[in-house]
Structures are given as structure tokens and as C-alpha cells.
Amino acid sequence: MSEKFDVIVVGAGPAGTSCAYTAAKNGLKVLLIERGEYPGSKNVMGGILYRKQLEEIIPEFWKEAPIERPVVEQRFWFLDKESMITTSYKGLEWAKEPYNNFTVLRAKFDKWFADKAVEQGALLINETVATECIVEDGKVVGVRTDRPDGDVYADVVVLADGVNSLLAKQLGFHKEWKPNEVALTVMEVLKLPSKTINERFNVKDGQGVSVEIFGDATHGILGTGFLYTNKDSVNIGVGTTLSGMMKKKLKPYELLEHVKQHPMIQPYIEGSETQEYLAHLIPEGGFNSVPKLVGNGVIVTGDAAQFVNAIHREGSNMAMSSGKIAAETIVKAKETGDFSEKTLDSYRTEIYDSFIGKDLKKYKDAAHTFEENPQYFQEYVPLMNQAMNTFFTVDGTPKWEKQKKIIAKMTAGRGKIGLAKDMYKAWKAVK
Amino acid sequence: MAKTLEDKQYLIRFNCDQKSHLEVKDHQICATQCPDKDCTIFCPAEVYKWEGDRMFVGFEGCHECGSCRIGCPHENIKWEYPKGGHGIVFRLA
């Protein structure tokens, strides 16, 4: 395999495949390396894929891609032990083209997407681990793989090797992630007849619902649960920062059972059958955790670059955009034949000028604020539930007395100023 | 529905390698410096089990998530990817 390519892309997930697709389409000679049996076999996602960024790569992809359901309603549940406050937005404009987002099953989707890159001329090699970057004179010139005679060379190596980017770490682009920079998430795919899903979630065929679940789903620690509808299955999962999981001594699969058996959630999944159980890390360090993105002959994309907006559950879309921008950067560099860090650095500036950099910056303090101040999930969600209960239970108490009681309860812990401070802090973290 | 971890793990396809891709560098560190042994709790596949004097590593059921490498307070776990094509094979999500 000692051939030379224009680009070697490590990892056939959303970032890597977008890069390989775009580079191959522009006439570059591309090698796409995947360690799994097939693309998608190592990849896990809750299931929401946004339309916009993929459409910029493959117009009208939804007509042929293996998508599950377009999401027409986004629900948010704030759970206490035996109650919840809910809010949602449902819009039928999301049920028709061009759609907003879809649920997908990644093992199917990634395989389809990688095949599209192959159609454009990329060479896909499965079952191959890139074990290290080959560095000569301070420049990445290729990768070593675990195949016999497995050194391959290229002008540029694109690291799309996911949250466990051992290659970016090897190059010294970042130190080992800290437990508060990653979220450990576990989920199950539960088989349910599509008719049952339609009834329980109040939708028709070809319409899906996403539910984000806060509060008791994670025993009040920083994290969320989720419930997404596929065609004839639902994905149910829960994740918290690894540090939160460690601090509370939680076993992730027990936390998942807690979510599945929660009285507010259980009726939605009753009678379903587990098809698969999956665990994965989500890079949630945000803006301040983004590693060095560019070196001589190398670019970092997707999860490997911590491009995830946890607040808006966006990641695969950022991965796709970053892969595309990386490819376009390399196409441009090819014109002059200069693949130095200085030339490739336009990738970094473009990322920071795009929605990726801007959104990561907007929420740069969010994770930290909510991790350091557990009261938001631990205290305020139950308090809000109790307030609703107090206000709506008709027991002969006059409403103004109820109001007084609620305010007294809300301010009992921290006082009025404390409450106001907390509200301001939360607003500041996401403004 | 799969309730226990055993039920859940049973549903997954693994193409196991002979050789472990996970290695506890020094069992003494687990024994003497790590009273909490968090890896035995947070690992989503219960790969790590303390056997009184050494750490048992059931790499065959590993999801390759990376939590142990990041979460081990003593950086005592050597973590590599399984050989190409080996390890966990997700079929759905």
C-alpha cells in the first residue's frame, strides 16, 4: 500500500466522509480509512441529524438516504420523581421539504454516506486502524496502519477519528481529555410497531418526535435523557459528564434503567423489545477544549476537534461542515502545492468564522456553569414541579396564598437575591 | 426489554480479537492507591472487575468508548483500538 494520495482521511464518520466526498468530487485522490467492519459499525449517536449542513454536500439527500423520520416536534420534559413539566414546539413545516432534522440510525446512515464518497472516487478501506501519523521533518506525511506493509502517504492527513482521537493526541494537539470534557452516554434501540409509535407520540407516518429530558432523568446531575422516534423503533438514552457519573458513583446502565422505568417515560416504551445497547463518549468540552486544529500536512475535524454544541445536541452537522471546509482548504492548497501549517491555517479561521466557532463561543461557559452549580437540575426542576402542583391542585386554599407559599419555597434555599443571581448566571451562560 | 447489563450485552455482536486492546499497566496501583476503583462502576460494559488483588479486564465486551482511559485517576490503563475489523460491531444506531 505504499501509494501516495492527495488526502488520507482517518475515520469514515460524518466528518471524515464529508471530507472524502468533497475532496474526491474536486478531483483529488482520496484514501478513506475506517477501523470498523463497515462505516457506522463503531459509531453512535442519539439520532438527530440536521438537514442544512448535509444538504450543502449532497443536495436533497433525504430522497435517497436511509433516514428514519423527519422531526416535526421537539419536546422538553423537566422531570421530578412522579411528575413533569413539559414544553414543546410542533410545526408541520418541518414535515415537508426541505425539513429541519431527521432521526437516523447511524450504522445504516454512515454506510450509505461512505458509499456516496466512494461513488465520487474516494478509496474506502475498512477494517484498518491508523495507529500513528508518520512525521518527517516536522510535517505529517502519512499514516501507519495495522495492515502488513501498511504505511500510506499523502500531502495532507485529515484526522476524523472521533472523540478518542489518539492521533491528535500523539501529535501533541491536545492532552488527554479531562472527565468533565466528555459525556458518557448509553442508549438502547427499542423495537416498537410504527402504528404504536404514531399513537403514543401523536404523529402520522413520516413524522417524528424528539424529547429531551432534564432533572430526575440524571438524578439531578448535569446531563440529559432523550427519546427519539425512528420508523419502527425508538432510541432511548441518557448521558452525563464522565466526571458527574464518577462523582455520583453511577453505573450508566442502571441510570438508563432508571430512565426507562420512570413513571413519566415508561408508558411510551411499554411492550417494546431491546434491539441494541450502545455506549459512547460525546466531546462536550466546548469552545475552550478545542485542540490545535492544523499542523504541517494535517487537519483535525469533527468530534476529534470537540466540535459539539451540547446545548443544542448538534455534533454530526458540525462534523460534516468541518470535513467539507477541510476538503476545500486542501483543494485550494493543492493549487500552489503548499501544505504547510501556514497555508492550511485558513481552515482554522474559516471554522471560527462559521456557525461552528460562533456557536461554540456563545455557549463556552454553559457546561462549566451548570457543572459547578448543580442547583439548576437538582433543586429548581423539583421546585418548579412542586410549584405547579401547588398552584393547580384545588384544595380550597386561595390563590394568593398559594402564590405566597410558592415564592417562599422558591426562595427558601437561597433567598430572593440568591434566586435572582442564579437566574442571571444561567442567562449569562447561554446568552 | 433488556433489564440487566447481561441482557443488554447479549444483544451486541462482537468480533473478538485474541489479544486484549486494554491493559492495566500496574495492578499494584489499583491495589494500593485506588480505593474507589471507579472504573468498575462507570464502565458501561462492566469490563473491569476487582478480584481482590488484581483487576480483571473483560475486554471482549468493550464498547471502545474511552471512558476508562480518561476516567482512571492514575492513568493506569493502556488503551488502544482493537485490531482493524475487530471489537464491537454496531448494527443499528
d(CA B90, CA B93) in angstroms, rounded, equals: 7
- Cell match 465486551: residue? B61
Digit-coded pLDDT (tens) for A288-299: 999 999 999 999
Look up the pTM and report it: 0.96
pLDDT score of A148 more than 80: yes
d(CA B18, nearest CA chain A) in Å: 15
Backbone angles phi, psi at B43, to 5 degrees: -60, 125
> In the A/B pair of chains, how many CB contacts fall below 8 A?
138
End-to-end CA, chain A: 51
d(CA B53, CA B46) in angstroms, rounded, equals: 18
Which domain range does residue B81 map to?
5-89
Digit-coded pLDDT (tens) for A43-61: 999 999 999 999 999 999 9
Which residue among B11, B46, B87 sits closest to A274, beta carbon to beta carbon? B11
B65/A279 CB distance under 8 A: yes
Backbone angles phi, psi at A388, to 5 degrees: -60, -45
pLDDT band per the 50, 70, 90 thresholds, residue A23: very high
**Contact partners, residue A351, CB within 8 Å, separation at least 6:** A293, A307, A322, A325, A357
The pLDDT value recorded for residue A181 is 96
What's the mean per-residue pLDDT of chain A? 96
d(CA A194, CA A277) in angstroms, rounded, equals: 20
**Any idea what the CATH number is for the domain that residue B55 is in?**
3.30.70.20
pLDDT band per the 50, 70, 90 thresholds, residue A2: low
Asked casually if ipTM beats, i.e. exceeds, 0.95, the reply is yes
Cβ of residue A180 closer than 8 Å to a chain B Cβ: no
A260/B8 CB distance under 8 A: no
Chain B, 34-53: which have a CB under 8 Å from a chain A CB? 38, 41-42, 44-46
Mean pLDDT of A251-257: 98
Mean pLDDT of A383-411: 94
d(CA B21, nearest CA chain A) in Å: 12
Which residue among A147, A164, A189 sits closest to B93, beta carbon to beta carbon? A189
Cβ of residue A282 closer than 8 Å to a chain B Cβ: no
d(CA B39, CA A246) in angstroms, rounded, equals: 9
d(CA A346, nearest CA chain B) in Å: 31
Chain B, 7-36: which have a CB under 8 Å from a chain A CB? 7-9, 11-12, 15
CB A323 within 8 A of CB A158: yes
Interface test with B, best of A246, A269, A303 (most B CBs within 10 A): A246
Q: How many domains does chain B contain in total?
A: 1
The pLDDT value recorded for residue B12 is 97
Residue B18's nearest CA partner among B91, B93, B68, B87 is B87
Chain A, 294-353: which have a CB under 8 Å from a chain B CB? none
CB-neighbour burial class of residue A366 (10 A; exposed 0-12, middle 13-18, buried 19+): buried
Q: A123 by DSSP, 3-state: which? A: strand
Residues of B in contact with A176 (CB under 8 A): 69-70, 75
Cβ of residue A235 closer than 8 Å to a chain B Cβ: yes
Chain A, 189-208: which have a CB under 8 Å from a chain B CB? 189-190
Residue A34's nearest CA partner among A138, A115, A153, A154 is A115
Cβ of residue A426 closer than 8 Å to a chain B Cβ: no
